[in-house]
A and B are shown apart, each in its own frame.
Chain A
Amino acid sequence: MAIKRRDFLKLTGLTLVGTAASAAVGDLLTRGEVKAQEYATPPEALKGKRWAMVIDVKKCKEGQKKGCGKKCIEVCHYLHNVPSIPDKKKEIKWIWEDEFEHAFPEQTDEYLEEIFKDVPFMLLCNQCDNPPCVRVCPTKATFKREDGIVMMDFHRCIGCRFCMAACPYGSRSFNWFDPRKYLKKVNPEYPTRTKGVVEKCLFCYERLAQGKLPACVEACPEKALIFGDLADENSEVSKILKERVALRRKAELGTGPAVFYLID
């Protein structure tokens, strides 16, 4: 049945009134909200296009001989409230030490293993160019920042652990229980995590925003850890990598790791 001209006009009028009324109600609901809110990157923040780290393993070895006490791990784990859990299967680590053969299992040269027998390798999240953890995260809790940092938004993590399965470096840890029980002292400036959340090294994004270098880099007494922008030709990391031989962990997988180990 066709609509009558009279009914059509009535409906049009009603729609107009309804639209006007809903606009007015909408204004009522958002009254008092601040309209012009501005956000910016702090002026003191360190700016880079591709953050990377170079680790001089020989200097690291020397430092450990002198008794540096693995300051990098200690400071990082204190500042970020990383608990020390004795159970290896449930431990949480942002930066840790391992042997050459575990860090570089794809290196088949047995003489290399001999050379690096007593050399400590500090391992951390490689902040990949092409991070597999980001590809598999169903909630975008982990994502890649424009400056190359593979970030975590702990608020969004649902604890599915796909990222842990995807990461070829074992850089991610899962909180099987409330981590606060295992924290001896706490940094009140940084949150802890909670049960059911995955965590990892975030290249000290919060310190970069304050214009500071990552905590491990600053803490190392031997200056064995060097941090900088790979996209900048004149940065320290770029210069070192042009002159010296460096290995990256499992680079053949195509993840594009940004942590380099100087081996010469």
Chain B
Amino acid sequence: MYNAEKVIPFIIILIIFFTIPMWLNFGRLEAIPQPELPKEEKKCVESKEYMRAYHMKLLDNWRKKAIRENQHLYTASNGKNYTISLQRTCMKCHTNKEKFCDKCHNFVITHPDCWDCHIAPEVAKKWQ
């Protein structure tokens, strides 16, 4: 290899440069978002793991079924029935969008536009 004494250090510098965010946050646990969970209700529509990974898929299916197919009732895998509605079902337990939704969404810099139309409970309260 030509110029190995220059190329290899430079590759190492590049790797370090691109992984800077990882090194800077290394071992800093407080960076992990802690969304506020409802106090009264212990169980969500589906299991915690499922909701964590697939809530966006579930919500999208809910929209399709309720709006496009007029099926407003969801039967969860444990047999419980839920009315399909973001504002009338989800946000009755998760009573604060800022302390729940935004915690993770801001952390991963994703900005879903749900709340352009749907009214977050804390926003509705301020309105009245």
Contact across chains for B70 and A41 when beta carbons are under 8 A apart: yes
Number of B residues whose C-beta is below 8 Å from A?
A: 35
Knowing A32-B49, A189-B87, say if A41 contacts B71 (CB, 8 Å): yes
Contact across chains for A37 and B72 when beta carbons are under 8 A apart: no
Q: Which residues of A contact B110 (CB under 8 A)?
A: none
- Of the candidates B73, B87, B117, the one whose C-beta lies within 8 Å of that of A188 is B87
Instruction: Looking at the assembled complex, report how far the CB atom of B89 sits from the nearest CB atom of chain A, in whole angstroms.
Output: 11
Instruction: Looking at the assembled complex, report how far the CB atom of B85 sits from the nearest CB atom of chain A, in whole angstroms.
Output: 8
B37 within 8 A of A: no
The proximity string for A residues 74-90 relative to B, scoring 1 for CB distances below 8 Å and 0 otherwise, is: 00000001000000000
Q: Which residues of A contact B50 (CB under 8 A)?
A: 32-34
Contact across chains for A194 and B71 when beta carbons are under 8 A apart: no
Knowing A153-B68, A189-B88, A205-B70, say if A37 contacts B61 (CB, 8 Å): yes
A192 to chain B: closest residue by CB: B117
A154 within 8 A of B: yes
Instruction: Looking at the assembled complex, report how far the CB atom of A227 sits from the nearest CB atom of chain B, in whole angstroms.
Output: 17
Interface-central residue, B61, B67, B69, B85, by most chain A CB under 10 Å: B67
Q: Which residues of A contact B106 (CB under 8 A)?
A: none
Q: Which residues of B contact A40 (CB under 8 A)?
A: 71, 73, 75
B119 within 8 A of A: yes
- Of the candidates A38, A143, A206, the one whose C-beta lies within 8 Å of that of B68 is A143
The proximity string for A residues 150-179 relative to B, scoring 1 for CB distances below 8 Å and 0 otherwise, is: 010111000000000000000000000000
Q: Which residues of A contact B63 (CB under 8 A)?
A: 153, 155
The proximity string for A residues 175-205 relative to B, scoring 1 for CB distances below 8 Å and 0 otherwise, is: 0000000010110111111100100000001
A146 within 8 A of B: yes
A81 to chain B: closest residue by CB: B119
Contact across chains for B117 and A191 when beta carbons are under 8 A apart: yes
Knowing A38-B74, A39-B75, A42-B83, say if A188 contacts B119 (CB, 8 Å): yes
The proximity string for A residues 17-57 relative to B, scoring 1 for CB distances below 8 Å and 0 otherwise, is: 00000000000000011101111111001000000000000
Instruction: Looking at the assembled complex, report how far the CB atom of A201 sits from the nearest CB atom of chain B, in whole angstroms.
Output: 15
Q: CA A37 – CA B73 in complex, angstroms?
A: 11
Q: CA A37 – CA B79 in complex, angstroms?
A: 10
Interface-central residue, B50, B127, B128, by most chain A CB under 10 Å: B127
Interface-central residue, B70, B88, B116, by most chain A CB under 10 Å: B70
Q: CA A40 – CA B4 in complex, angstroms?
A: 67
Q: CA A209 – CA B74 in complex, angstroms?
A: 13
Contact across chains for B87 and A190 when beta carbons are under 8 A apart: yes
Q: Which residues of A contact B57 (CB under 8 A)?
A: 33
Instruction: Looking at the assembled complex, report how far the CB atom of B66 sits from the nearest CB atom of chain A, in whole angstroms.
Output: 8
Q: CA A155 – CA B84 in complex, angstroms?
A: 16
Q: Which residues of A contact B77 (CB under 8 A)?
A: 34, 36-37
A185-B127, A209-B72 are known contacts; what are 12 more A-B pairs with Cβ within 8 Å?
A32-B54, A34-B46, A36-B77, A38-B74, A39-B65, A39-B73, A39-B84, A40-B75, A147-B70, A191-B87, A192-B117, A194-B117
Can you pick out 26 interface pairs between chain A and chain B where the beta carbons lie within 8 Å of each other?
A32-B54, A33-B57, A34-B46, A34-B77, A36-B77, A37-B75, A38-B74, A39-B61, A39-B71, A39-B84, A40-B71, A40-B73, A41-B70, A41-B71, A41-B72, A81-B119, A145-B70, A151-B67, A153-B63, A154-B117, A155-B67, A191-B86, A191-B117, A193-B117, A209-B70, A209-B72
